[in-house]
C-alpha cells in the first residue's frame, strides 16, 4: 500500500511534482541572472493571477500573517480608524494585529456561517471616517466567503482603502482585483497558489501605493516596510539584482513554476473548476445529512468546506478513521465550536480522483462511526455534479 497520505487540509495543500522539483535543486545566489529572471517572471505572473495589470506585486519570505502585517503596517498610522469585517478566526487576528499600529480599530463580526450585511458596513462608514477596511475573502475557520464586489464598491464610494485577506482564496476563488477596485489582495504560498509554505504574496493598487506615499510617520515595522521592499521589487521587475533581505530562493523558483501552471490552466477555467469542486463536495456532504457552517450556498467557499459532525459521531475518532483510509483532514478552528466540525481543503492542484477518494473515505468513516447512510450515496452525488 502507498504510504503517502493525501493532504486535504486548507493549507499546506497537495503540490504539483513540477513545483516541488525546484525545492531540491542547488540553491543559486539571489543575484544570479537566472534567479533574477525567475523572480521578475513571478512578479509579472502575479499581476495576471490577481487580474491586477497596474498593481504593485510583492514577494517576501514569511507566512500569510506577514502579508497581513505588511498591509497593515504600511497603510496605518497611529490615530487612523480601521474597520475589520470578521467572518471568523482570521478576522479576529486582523483586529489584534491592527491594534499594534493604531488605537482606533473597530470590528463588525458575523455570526458563525453568515456574512456581515453590506448595509451594516455602510452604516458604520457613515458614523466615522475610516482610513481602511479589512475583510477575509474566505475565512479558513468557517468556510464562509464574502463577495468582494459590494465591499470594494463601498470602499470607492467612501474613499476607504479595501484590504482583502485572500490567503485561502487567491488562485482559487474568482478575484478581479483591478476591475473590482480592491486596493490590497494578498495570499501565502501554501494555499491555493500551490507552493510550499514560506512566501507572503501581496499586490497593492496604485491607490494603496499613493496612500502609503502620503504617510506622515515612518512605517512602524522594519521588516515589512515598503521603503525597504519596493526598490527590490522594482529592480527584479526590471530584471536587475537587488538586496534587502535574502529571498527564499528555492521557493521563488517553485512559485514561478506554480504560477506558470496556474496561467496555463487559465484564470477563468480555474475559477470554474473550483466552483464545481466546491459544489460537488458540499452536495456530497449534504447527501449524508451533514450540515455545513455556511448557512447557504451564496456564502459557501469553494476552496474549502466546513461540515459539522452528525450527532453521535465522535470527531477525534472520525478524523482518525479518515486518516487510516489515507486522507488527512483538519479539525475545527473557531474556539467555541472547535470540536463540533471538521475542515476539508479542496483547492489548487486537487483533482477529481483526490476529491472522490476524500469523499469515499469520509463516507466510510461516517458509517464506521455509527452514522447510518447508504454506501455510495455521497460519491454518487459528487459524481453527478462533477460530470455535469
Ligand X SMILES: *Cc1c(COP(=O)(O)O)cnc(C)c1O
Q: Which residues bind ligand X (CB under 6 A)?
A: 11, 63-65, 90, 136, 139-140, 165, 167-168, 188
Strands annotated E in the chain: 6-7, 56-61, 81-86, 104-109, 132-136, 138-139, 144-145, 161-165, 184-188, 199-204, 304-305, 327-328, 330-331, 342-345
The residue sitting closest to ligand X, measured at its beta carbon, is 64
Residue with cell 499600529: 101
CB of residue 65 vs ligand X: minimum separation in angstroms? Answer: 3
Give the dihedral of Cα atoms 167, 173, 177, 182; nearest 10 deg.
-60
Q: Which is nearer to ligand X, 125 or 229 (CB)?
A: 229
Q: Which is nearer to ligand X, 36 or 68 (CB)?
A: 68
CB of residue 72 vs ligand X: minimum separation in angstroms? Answer: 12
Neighbours of 56 (CB within 10 A): 23
Cβ–Cβ < 8 Å for 205, 52: yes
CB of residue 314 vs ligand X: minimum separation in angstroms? Answer: 26
CB of residue 67 vs ligand X: minimum separation in angstroms? Answer: 8
Q: Which is nearer to ligand X, 188 or 361 (CB)?
A: 188
Neighbours of 239 (CB within 10 A): 12
DSSP string, 70-127: HHHHHH--TT-EEEEEESSHHHHHHHHHHTTT-SEEEEEEPPTT----HHHHHHHHHH
CB of residue 82 vs ligand X: minimum separation in angstroms? Answer: 16
Order of strands, edge to edge, in the sheet holding 342-345? 304-305, 342-345, 330-331
Cβ–Cβ < 8 Å for 320, 331: no
Burial of 373 (0-12, 13-18, 19+ CB in 10 A): middle
Q: Which is nearer to ligand X, 108 or 378 (CB)?
A: 108
CB of residue 277 vs ligand X: minimum separation in angstroms? Answer: 17
Q: Which is nearer to ligand X, 60 or 366 (CB)?
A: 60
Q: Which grid cell sits at 95?
A: 483586529
β-partners of residue 202 are 58, 186
Q: Which is nearer to ligand X, 35 or 135 (CB)?
A: 135
From 192, 113, 128, 135, select the one nearest 159 (Cα to Cα).
128
CB of residue 68 vs ligand X: minimum separation in angstroms? Answer: 6
Q: Which is nearer to ligand X, 188 or 208 (CB)?
A: 188
Q: Which is nearer to ligand X, 163 or 379 (CB)?
A: 163
CB of residue 254 vs ligand X: minimum separation in angstroms? Answer: 16
Amino acid at each position: 500500500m502507498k504510504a503517502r497520505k493525501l493532504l486535504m487540509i486548507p493549507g499546506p495543500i497537495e503540490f504539483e511534482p513540477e513545483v516541488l522539483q525546484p525545492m531540491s535543486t542547488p540553491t543559486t545566489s539571489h543575484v544570479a541572472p537566472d534567479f533574477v529572471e525567475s523572480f521578475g517572471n513571478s512578479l509579472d505572473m502575479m499581476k495576471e493571477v490577481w487580474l491586477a495589470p497596474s498593481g504593485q506585486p510583492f514577494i517576501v519570505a514569511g507566512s500569510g500573517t506577514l502579508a497581513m502585517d505588511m498591509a497593515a503596517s504600511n497603510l496605518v498610522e497611529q490615530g487612523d480608524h480601521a474597520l475589520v469585517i470578521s467572518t471568523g478566526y482570521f478576522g479576529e487576528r486582523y483586529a489584534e494585529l491592527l491594534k499594534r499600529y493604531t488605537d482606533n480599530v473597530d470590528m463588525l463580526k458575523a455570526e458563525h456561517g453568515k456574512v456581515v450585511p453590506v448595509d451594516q458596513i455602510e452604516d458604520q462608514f457613515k458614523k466615522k471616517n475610516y482610513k481602511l477596511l479589512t475583510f477575509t475573502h474566505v475565512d479558513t475557520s468557517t468556510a464562509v466567503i464574502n463577495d468582494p464586489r459590494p465591499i470594494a464598491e463601498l470602499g470607492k464610494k467612501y474613499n476607504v482603502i479595501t484590504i482583502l485577506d485572500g490567503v485561502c482564496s487567491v488562485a482559487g476563488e474568482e478575484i478581479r482585483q483591478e476591475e473590482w477596485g480592491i486596493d490590497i489582495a494578498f495570499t501565502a504560498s501554501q494555499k491555493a497558489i500551490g507552493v510550499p509554505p514560506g512566501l507572503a504574496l501581496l499586490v497593492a493598487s496604485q491607490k494603496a501605493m499613493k496612500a502609503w506615499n502620503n504617510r506622515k510617520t515612518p512605517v512602524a515595522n522594519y521588516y515589512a516596510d515598503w521603503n525597504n521592499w519596493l526598490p527590490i521589487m522594482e529592480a527584479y521587475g526590471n530584471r536587475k539584482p537587488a538586496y534587502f533581505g535574502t529571498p527564499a530562493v528555492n521557493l521563488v523558483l517553485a512559485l514561478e513554476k506554480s504560477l506558470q501552471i496556474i496561467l496555463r490552466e487559465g484564470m477563468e477555467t480555474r475559477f470554474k473548476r473550483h466552483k464545481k469542486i466546491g459544489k460537488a463536495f458540499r452536495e456530497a456532504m449534504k447527501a449524508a445529512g451533514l450540515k455545513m457552517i455556511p448557512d447557504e450556498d451564496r456564502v459557501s467557499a469553494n476552496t474549502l468546506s466546513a461540515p459539522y459532525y452528525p450527532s453521535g459521531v465522535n470527531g477525534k475518532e472520525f478524523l482518525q478513521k479518515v486518516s487510516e483510509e489515507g486522507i488527512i483532514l483538519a479539525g475545527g478552528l473557531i474556539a467555541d465550536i472547535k470540536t463540533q466540525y471538521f475542515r476539508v481543503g479542496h483547492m489548487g492542484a486537487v483533482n477529481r480522483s483526490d476529491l472522490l477518494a476524500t469523499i469515499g473515505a469520509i463516507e466510510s468513516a461516517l458509517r464506521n462511526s455509527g452514522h447510518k447512510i447508504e454506501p455510495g450515496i455521497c460519491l454518487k452525488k459528487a459524481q453527478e455534479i462533477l460530470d455535469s
